[in-house]
Structure 1
């Protein structure tokens, strides 16, 4: 195995796969892509509904868990993160959401030149092979297939109609001109199979002589000479970079690796006797995530709950998928969506719905025995932010995750407003003709009792798997990387993944993470030509 490469990319997730593909594309540079997990050979990875089998599975998931959170009434909750080629794009719900144009303009307004909407849009388009209606705002011919949903259910159609009867507009492309409105989700899938970042970016690049993909390669530390990163330390060998190391290990892995390598705050490093190479107090801070509350409504309409209630029914569904690549097994984590404004945000949508034709008290227990749908709702731009803390100087020891959910009054008011909107839509025609009972929160939680609604959310809400922000981009004292994603005060090192987001994007984070990978690769290549 070659021990020296021009570029070393740590982490083969949503961003890392894009970086490795683009840096090796012209054949001029040698690139090593390191992934702590295995190859994406598990067949459930490639079946859209396979996330039920891959989340919580230590063969494909880091299986993180938060510390007890006061905002969740003292609960600790699982935080799945992909540990396999493709990273979380191999185990997520396949939903493709760019976010709002204002998200990226806000990043630029914080001093991050080059990150405003009109400057990131070309990288979204470059990544996409959009299978829907042609638009100047959508990409065609890119590596990542983005398609419209292939599954429908009457209760989802009824929810969309009821939302419009509540006054919310229809929107056939929330990734187009305007995000606001209700419609069906777009997903990273091609002909009934998942299109992960690994499928999109690595499969076409595997034959390149200048790209080396190494799995089961967990980086223990960065190698530094003074304040320059020159390589990485694996369990039994070192790899060296002629030019740069690009850290794409995600919102938990990237800051943890920086800290165990001596880049972080003395408050975090000193207790573990880690020599400080660069004092950067923002490493592991600014942790943001989307918290979902999950109202559930029993209904008189067929849902996945009863459609898979016997081995015979499951067999028929499996046979349809094998023969046609259609049916429930092609379903993403949600079908219907709404990007809506509450009274707290009249200028732009602040809540997002994930409407699912199934329900469960917990994934481990499986779906309910009765027909029901879930109207999951989240606040898109929470003000609450948490942090990570080291437990040792070893990367193999998971850090403590403090999500700090629902810590601000606005966050509390917004989640309550979202739950009320879910209830209002359920009472509108034609959905009210299908809903037989509100299962959860239920009639014991009054619609005029905000404290009880909030307490229900604290007791039941969970992550929707979007941790971001822990190596934030900016120029302030808590920033970790600059607008070129170079780590402040450290040479030869960039971070490129969702951890660099100074503010979480309005919606699911896989698409922005891939865009970040595309953009940083372009910046690196442009800089290498000018050197």
Structure 2
């Protein structure tokens, strides 16, 4: 078997891995970096159409196609657990919402791990270094009423184009006005560190083209080697030092370190098949133990959501004229291919989104029964309890679901879920995925919270300014009783694909952690993990941004330790 030697080997080319690889490779020292990706190059331009980003997860070649185990809390349902495959990882198939979360998320992260490098000031600096922010339709006086970011809170020279769409659907502004009339405070920039309030969604796109982590690799230096279609099966050790990785038929060696960036569902798999994980699990499948770390595979959390789908007066929007015309959609694609403009850069391209606190939720017995530290965190200034999204183009996700596109889809997302799941081995074959059990709605707080926050969504939908254009409920609970709302969640809940926490970061000596604040795996040398699996706080956002900043933070750590910029 061929054996090639690099300074650093990075496994997984999603947001964290691409950020880390690009950052290390561009240092003064120019270390030799190998970035290994299990999937393909993902170089089909048609998958970058910003208005079609809701459909790319349906591309089998770009999605691992994972599913959860049957969920007891959802009457045995098996949920979609999509994971991106190929260069860009999840950023190549997600819905393109780019929100950084609350500053208190990162302050809490820093406190948990005992390292100020994870606090908001440092994280915001990294976010800004990654992005080029575009005002889009907010560049006008009329648009600035709905989105008006402070320039100093954003970056303007990064590889990732993020921001607002240039063109908005005709019902977006009226919806925003309705929400304000219904009592929802407006937020002119969710990415300032304070996400509370309703506002325009920041998207990972620019000039009609979706951004993915692959953009960070453009014009990469010669010391960065990227190899695709190469799944890593296990880490190679010399004693307790990681010295490389083994793929199907090849070995690649690292003179300095191996860093896993394969995500919350696959980094723990590679670790376990390499002999690092809970001894009880490894023994079941006769995997030789390198180091017993019970926390690996535990701590799985996610954001879950449920929709409210309402038919609307046809004069409020013009979606039928576009989506019922094959000619219109074909012509729009031709225009997009020419310059990135046109209807495919408008329809489904600008959402309105907001995060909210709830006195109703914090006054419940289920909230009062939570640990004091959890209650204190959820009462911090910038921490929300749930999220509302409006304008969700659900007909693109589920073709054939609707024949009339005059509708509005609202969705509500639970923040700070208290149900904790796990991932575990199902065989000794490293090509088999783990078993994914998020234990959805298993915690009493989650069951109570989803009822109360969905009831608020119903209240918003019944406000006169909104209800005057609603014709009927297409999808919603049978009634507003607690039982019917909870049953609706069980029947319709979906994952946001924000899985995290399965190789948790913490302080040395903590029982439920697997890596330290330097991303080093406990008990071994030369091995780190830097992706959403290590994040100890389920950040209040759509977590692709957190994955990017996790990779950027690990890069800062390695650059400092190895003096790569001196």
d(CA) in 2 for partners of 1:326, 1:214: 33
More divergent stretch after superposition (126-135 vs 33-42): 126-135
The two structures, once aligned, show a CA RMSD in angstroms of 2.0
Partners in 2 of 1:306 and 1:500 — Cα distance?
Answer: 46
Residue 285 (structure 1) aligns with: 298
Q: Quote the Cα distance in structure 1 between the aligned partners of 2:321 and 2:493.
A: 24
Counterpart contact for 1:101–1:117, Cα < 8 Å: yes
Q: Which residue in the other structure is 2:73 paired with?
A: 71
Distance in 1 separating the partners of 2:400 and 2:434: 28
Cα distance in 2 for partners of 1:67, 1:328 equals 39
Partner of 2:539: 505
Q: Partners of 1:365 and 1:381 in 2: how far apart? A: 33
Paired residues for 1:245-324 under 5 Å: 245-300=258-313, 301-302=316-317, 304=319, 307-324=322-339
Q: Does 1:59 align with 2:72?
A: no
SS at match of 1:187: coil
The offset of 1:332, in angstroms, is 5.6
Residues 297, 372 of structure 1: 8 Å contact kept: yes
Superposition deviation, residue 370 in structure 1:
4.5
User: Is 1:179 paired with 2:213?
Assistant: no
Q: CA deviation at 1:179?
A: 1.1
Q: Write the distance in 2 (CA, Å) between the matches of 1:21 and 1:332.
A: 31
Q: Paired residue for 1:14? A: 15
**Preserved CA contact (<8 Å) 1:359 1:372:** no
Aligned residue for 1:68, secondary structure, equals coil
Q: Does 1:456 align with 2:480?
A: no
Task: Give the 3-state SS of the residue equivalent to 2:426 in structure 1.
Answer: coil
Contact preservation (8 Å) 1:16, 1:497: yes
Q: 1:103-126: CA deviations, max 9, x gaps?
A: 111112223412121232211111
Q: CA deviation at 1:465?
A: 1.4
Task: Give the Å deviation of 1:237.
Answer: 1.2
Match of 1:108 among 91, 98, 110: 110
Residues 350-372 of structure 1: CA distance to partner in whole angstroms, max 9, x if unpaired? 11122125334962545443421
Runs of at least 5 residues in structure 2 that lack an aligned partner in the other structure: 136-148, 363-378
2:516 is aligned with 1:482? yes
- Structure 1 window deviating more from structure 2 (319-328 vs 506-515): it is 319-328
Q: Residue 138 of structure 1 aligns with which residue?
A: 154
How far apart are 1:440 and its partner, in Å?
Answer: 1.6
C-alpha contact (below 8 Å) 1:155/1:357 kept by paired residues: no
The residue that corresponds to 1:87 in the other structure is 89
CA offset at residue 429 of structure 1? 4.0
Cα drift, residue 151 of structure 1: 3.7
Question: Which range moved further: 54-63 or 86-95?
Answer: 54-63
* 1:9-39 deviation digits (Å, cap 9, x = unpaired): 0000011001110111025200000000000
Q: Please give the TM-score of this superposition, normalised by the length of structure 2.
A: 0.89
Runs ≥4 residues deviating over 6 A: none
Go from structure 1 to structure 2 and tell me whether the alpha carbon gap of 1:388 and 1:177 turns closer, same or farther (over 3 Å shift). Answer: closer
Structure 1 contact 358–372 (Cα < 8 Å) conserved: no
CA contact (8 A) 1:159 1:426 kept: no
> Do the aligned partners of residues 413 and 320 (structure 1) sit closer, same or farther apart at CA in structure 2, a change above 3 Å counting?
farther
Assess if the C-alpha contact under 8 Å between 2:348 and 2:391 holds in 1: no
CA–CA distance in structure 2, aligned partners of residues 294 and 19 of structure 1: 36
Q: Given the alignment, which residue of 19, 24, 41 partners 2:43? A: 41
Match of 2:164 among 115, 134, 148: 148
Question: Residues 212 and 175 from structure 1, CA distance in 2 versus in 1: closer, same or farther, beyond 3 angstroms?
Answer: same
SS at match of 2:162: strand
Moved more, 95-104 or 115-124: 115-124
**3-state SS in 1 of match to 2:282:** helix
> Residue 504 of structure 2 is aligned with which of 456, 467, 472?
472
Q: Deviations over 1:270-316 (max 9, x none)?
A: 11110111111111111011111111111113264663123123223
1:119 to 105, 118, 122: 122
Q: Following the alignment from structure 1 to structure 2, what is the Cα–Cα distance between the partners of residues 239 and 230?
A: 9
The separation in 2 between residues aligned to 1:138 and 1:160, in whole angstroms, is 23
> Against the structure 1 CA distance between its residues 224 and 364, is the aligned structure 2 distance closer, same or farther, given a 3 Å change threshold?
farther
The alpha-carbon deviation at position 53 of structure 1 amounts to 4.1
Q: Could you tell me which of 470, 479, 493 is aligned with 1:446?
A: 479
Cα distance in 2 for partners of 1:184, 1:335 equals 6
Residue of structure 1 equivalent to 2:431: 396
Given that residues 319 and 405 in structure 2 are in contact (C-alpha distance below 8 angstroms), is that contact kept between their aligned partners in structure 1?
Answer: no
Q: 1:368 to 1:485 in 2, by over 3 A?
A: farther
CA distance, structure 2, for counterparts of residue 306 and residue 376 of structure 1: 25
Q: What secondary structure does 1:286 align onto?
A: strand
For 1:212, the equivalent position in structure 2 comes to 225
Matched residue, 2:556: 522
Look up the match of 1:329: 344
* Contact 2:264–2:531 (8 Å) recurs in 1: yes
